[in-house]
Amino acid sequence: MVLSWLPIREDWDSRLLAAKSLATESLGAALRDLATSRMEVSQLSKLDRAFTRAVSASGSELAGLGSIRLAILGSATTSHLPAGIRVAGLRHGLAIEVYEAPYGMYWQELMDTSSGLYSFQPDVILLALDARHLAAAQDATSEAAIDLMRSCWRQARSSFSCQILQQTLLPVFPRLMGNNESRMTHSSATIVDQINQSLRTESETEGVDLLALDTFSAVEGIAAWHEPGIWHRSKHEVHPRATQLYGDQVARLIASARGRSAKCLVLDLDNTLWGGVIGDDGLEGIVLGQGNGIGEAFVDFQRYAKGLTDRGVILAVCSKNDEKNALDPFERHPEMVLKRDHIACFVANWNDKASNLRSIAKTLNIGIDSLVFADDNPVERALIRQELPLVRVPEMPEDPAAYISTISVAGYFEGLRVTDEDKVRSQLYQQNAERTRLMESATDMEGYLHSLRMEMSALSFDNIGLARITQLINKTNQFNLMTERLSEAEVAKRMQDPNFITLQVRLTDRFGDNGIIAILIAAIRGAEADIETWLMSCRVLGRRVEEACLNVMAERCREAGVQRLIGRFRPTEKNGMVRDLYSRLGFTLLAEDPDKNSSWLLDLSAFEPTSVPMKTNTLSGVTV
Amino acid sequence: MQQQEIYTRLTKIIRDVFDDESLVATPEMTAADVAEWDSVNHITLVVAIEEEFGIKFKTAELEKMKNVGQMVEGIERKLSA
């Protein structure tokens, strides 16, 4: 089973051999590169071993990889899943340590607090329950299966603050009636369909993320994923040859919950968004729509890209063209689905694409590892893979009719929830680009900030904002003081606890509503409050929002009788920009350890709110 | 395909799956001869062979394979079918 979006590296085996003698800092990157390639079963096995050895030798995290503890609780054989998951984790920038519960013991491990699962203390639990276990028995019902799964989820939730992944059921049963199987109520095949349908609503209610095995296995079909022979021999429901793809799906879900999904699709133009070369063929010569088979494929691809913006993915253009020519189709071609204002950052010049991608990431204020680069030209793809290994570069097929499926099955933008802000994100980035242009012509900073007519509201957390707040806590990497990730349940706890001060900060200005742009959580301990969480969107840097937030936090602290406000900083690879935030805000340094973790103090009895260029509304929200 | 080529390709797979560059596929070799050859790696070996040669074994065929020589015969039979 081929992971078609990954490139083939002809020298894979010799590169693995060479990697083994690298020092730790380069080893992680080299192994990650190898994981981002097509692999045969034996190569997967070799890489998994090399990776596992590297992880245990390096003691703590292998440079740049986040560590995750994943427990697989299965009802049948799970032995070949861990390797696929670990290597996929590596591909997604994670070092996943896997615990496998003993065969069939998912229930016992969850219910017995002295089990291996409890010693392991997972960050993620994967419930891999096979279809026969839940639907084969004579008296099986979908209600009973859902009840069973719900008990597992609730037990997992109350014992661990972990992400729960529930595998949907693989349709392994033969249809006894045929096309209209649903008319036979006690058919196992029908029960599986019913369970899978119920799981869509139940999982959302219970805060569980689905591993949609039923859906993603349908791409190549049940015969590719399941063979009765190996089920009978060794109780493998998922065939070992499919574990690379299974593993990638698991890794995507874990990465998504931790803010590591890609955020921006960067599109080439010629032969990517239309057939032909605009600079040579002109508006009449490019192939787009108009009843032509190839033209229609490009229109469909544009439609797909636009669809991504509806759920919060940003689009950018990176093309080797004169800007005027590149813009022409967007402005004048009747078949263009994508318009100029769907593109948050439009780069058309003759510079190398690696420099352009760096510049796009900088303009949009997102990490270079948030970009996906779609280009029909293998030479450009190879350049980016070499210069910017963290950019995700799908191997584009020769037939444009296959572009959509290649990018969609790659799952770069895996998402768990859509918020209202996601729907307008592309617009927000557009507006922000306008703000940047305005700023460039106004050298008087204070005058400029006032001209933005900013209004900030800082309220306590509420149920309406909960999903978006949780999303921000888990995806913000740069302006993030402690980078503490919290599950929605943990955020809700803080929302309801009177010993916590919570602030969700919204900002509007003359270009529009930026939505929630800062989150602060402080724990009150007597006369002291400790800021455990402070993060801010990079969209509003340089506007003195930090000072405005501090003003509000100080006021809330005083209302609660707090006299000393403590701030903490934990350095990561991405949050260098806030290293001296507390110093700039007038806190004094309390302590700093050799790893540069620091704590700071603000004496509130001496603190005066700073004058800031915005209106602030702090009407207390209702915490229901 | 010549038997020699099958042995050569099988040797590479065995080295990769069992993590031992000194291994050489010989007709008499069995699981008992290789430290890493447990039931989990055995399944990986079979799947790797099926992928490498583009073949699929039946349960009855797998149950008959008691050593590497019989595996090679099984591969040969599949390839000439």
Distance in Å, alpha carbon of B27 to nearest chain A alpha carbon: 21
pLDDT tens per residue across span A125-183: 999 999 999 999 989 999 999 999 999 999 999 999 899 999 999 999 999 999 999 99
Residue A60, pLDDT score? 56
- Name the more confident of B31 and A379: B31
B12 touches chain A (CB under 8 A): yes
Residue B41, pLDDT score? 94
Residue A487 backbone class (left: φ over 0; alpha: ψ -120 to 50; beta: rest): beta
Out of A41, A45, A229, closest to residue B59 by CB: A229
| DSSP 8-state code for residue A546 | H
pLDDT above 80: residue A538: no
Among all residues of chain A, which has the CA nearest to that of B53? A40
User: Could you say which of A410, A438, A463 is where a domain stops?
Assistant: A410
With contact defined as beta carbons under 8 Å apart, do A72 and A82 qualify?
A: yes
Among all residues of chain B, which has the CA nearest to that of A41? B48
Angstrom CA distances, A520 to A117, A177, A504, A517, stand at 33, 58, 7, 10
Asked which of A37-41, A182-186, A292-296 is least confident by mean pLDDT, the reply is A182-186
Q: Is B16 within 8 Å of A45 when comparing Cβ atoms?
A: yes
Residue A622, pLDDT score? 31
Per-residue confidence at A438, pLDDT binned at 50, 70, 90?
low
Most confident of A116-125, A412-421, A432-441: A116-125
Domain co-membership, A463 together with A570:
yes
Kindly state the average pLDDT of the residues A111-127: 96
pLDDT above 80: residue A62: no
Per-residue confidence at A621, pLDDT binned at 50, 70, 90?
very low
User: Could you say which of A227, A257, A287 is where a domain stops?
Assistant: A257
Kindly state the average pLDDT of the residues A488-501: 95
Superfamily (CATH H level) for B3-80: ACP-like (1.10.1200.10)
DSSP A222-277: HHHH--HHHHHHH-BSS-GGGHHHHHHHHHHHHHHHTT-S--EEEE--BTTTBBS-
Residue A100, pLDDT score? 97
How many domains does one find in chain A? 4
Domain co-membership, A198 together with A182:
yes
Question: For residue A596, is it within any domain?
Answer: yes
Kindly state the average pLDDT of the residues A227-248: 96
Q: Sign of torsion, CA A102 A108 A109 A112?
A: negative
Question: For residue A624, is it within any domain?
Answer: no
With contact defined as beta carbons under 8 Å apart, do A553 and A519 qualify?
A: no
Question: For residue A430, is it within any domain?
Answer: no
Segment holding A297, helix H or strand E = helix A293-309
Residue A41, pLDDT score? 94
- Name the more confident of A382 and A548: A548
Angstrom CA distances, A588 to A130, A326, A527, A570, A602, stand at 57, 52, 18, 16, 7
Per-residue confidence at A61, pLDDT binned at 50, 70, 90?
low
Distance in Å, alpha carbon of B76 to nearest chain A alpha carbon: 20
pLDDT tens per residue across span A508-520: 987 778 889 999 9
Q: Is B44 within 8 Å of A41 when comparing Cβ atoms?
A: yes
Q: Is B40 within 8 Å of A232 when comparing Cβ atoms?
A: no
**Could you tell me the CATH number of the domain that includes residue A384?**
3.40.50.1000
Kindly state the average pLDDT of the residues A349-354: 88
Selected residue of A43, A45, A103 to mutate for chain B interface (largest B Cβ count, 10 A) = A45
pLDDT tens per residue across span A384-393: 998 899 999 9
Q: At what angle do helices A142-159 and A188-206 cross, to 10 degrees?
A: 30
Domain co-membership, A509 together with A574:
yes
Domain co-membership, A270 together with A218:
no
Residue B65, pLDDT score? 93
pLDDT tens per residue across span A297-307: 999 999 999 99
SS3 B46: helix
pLDDT above 80: residue A349: yes
Domain co-membership, A281 together with A146:
no
Distance in Å, alpha carbon of B12 to nearest chain A alpha carbon: 9
B35 touches chain A (CB under 8 A): no
**Alpha carbon distance A239, A237 (integer Å):** 6
Residue A439, pLDDT score? 54
Domain co-membership, A237 together with A201:
yes
Going from N- to C-terminal start, the domains of chain B cover 3-80
Residue A437, pLDDT score? 56
Kindly state the average pLDDT of the residues A434-463: 74
With contact defined as beta carbons under 8 Å apart, do A36 and A390 qualify?
A: no
Question: For residue A423, is it within any domain?
Answer: no
A12 is in which domain, residue-wise? Answer: 1-64
Contacts of A45 in chain B (CB under 8 A): 16-17, 41, 44, 48
**Could you tell me the CATH number of the domain that includes residue A565?**
3.40.630.30
User: Could you say which of A64, A83, A102 is where a domain stops?
Assistant: A64
Domain co-membership, A321 together with A383:
yes
Domain co-membership, A171 together with A316:
no
Q: What is the ipTM of this complex?
A: 0.94
Distance in Å, alpha carbon of B80 to nearest chain A alpha carbon: 22
Of residues A262, A252, A257, the one with CA closest to residue A211: A252
Kindly state the average pLDDT of the residues A454-463: 93
Helices (H), A174-212: 188-206
Per-residue confidence at A483, pLDDT binned at 50, 70, 90?
very high
SS3 A97: strand
Domain co-membership, A185 together with A137:
yes
A82 touches chain B (CB under 8 A): no
Residue A624, pLDDT score? 24
Residue A444, pLDDT score? 62
Among all residues of chain B, which has the CA nearest to that of A45? B17
Domain co-membership, A180 together with A329:
no
Domain co-membership, A476 together with A591:
yes
b (16+ CB within 10 A) / e for A327-357: bbbbeebebbbbeeebbbbbbbbeeebbebb
Kindly state the average pLDDT of the residues B8-23: 94
pLDDT above 60: residue A377: yes
pLDDT above 80: residue A87: yes
Per-residue confidence at A436, pLDDT binned at 50, 70, 90?
low
Percentage above 90 pLDDT, chain A: 76
Selected residue of A41, A225, A230, A236 to mutate for chain B interface (largest B Cβ count, 10 A) = A41
pLDDT above 50: residue A430: yes
Residue A442, pLDDT score? 45
Domain co-membership, A300 together with A250:
no
Residue B46, pLDDT score? 97
Out of A49, A79, A241, closest to residue B40 by CB: A79
Residue A486, pLDDT score? 95
State chain A's mean pLDDT as an integer: 91
Distance in Å, alpha carbon of B24 to nearest chain A alpha carbon: 16
pLDDT above 90: residue A92: yes
- The phi and psi torsions of A268 (rounded to 5 degrees) equal -75, 165
Residue A531, pLDDT score? 97
**Alpha carbon distance A152, A164 (integer Å):** 10
Kindly state the average pLDDT of the residues A342-369: 92
